[in-house]
Amino acid sequence: MLLSQPQDQSREQDRGRPLLHRSRLLTGAGLLSLAAIALLTGAAEPGQQGNPDRPYLIPEANPLPDVNDRMKMREQQAKQQNFDAANAERKKQLSDDSTKLLTLAMALKAEVDKTNKDMLSLNVIRKADEIEKLAHDVKEKMKLTIGGS
């Protein structure tokens, strides 16, 4: 029986080692699995994900504009461009008409200087009438010009 006891002890020791070895293997495998899951889900370090120059955008927080919204935006831009073009054309016409008014006024003054104080010529009256109409047109165009400088 003495011979059998040391064998029983050695068997118990052999049985204990594989259990210890198995538990270490299972613990190591579990830790590796957790590390792999953490890396795959991005739980490691938030700063390490993707390109640091390009931030990650949550789709719900930054939705793409709706097609209808884009169409409305383009229509508004087209209207604004048309309005700006029409405004620029009115300003150009105002400038041209103002120059013409100045020329007519100078011609009228020269014509009036040639006549007597008691008599006005028909030509002077026509020029004054033309100046009056042109001045009225300039005044109306100035009312239409919005946002002028």
For the question of whether the overall pTM of this predicted structure is more than 0.85, the answer is no
pLDDT band, residue 76 (cuts 50/70/90):
very high
pLDDT band, residue 30 (cuts 50/70/90):
confident
Residue 148 per-residue DSSP state: -
DSSP string, 45-106: -GGGSS-TTS----TTTSPPPPHHHHHHHHHHHHHHHHHHHHHHHHHHHHHHHHHHHHHHHH
Average pLDDT value over all residues in the chain: 76
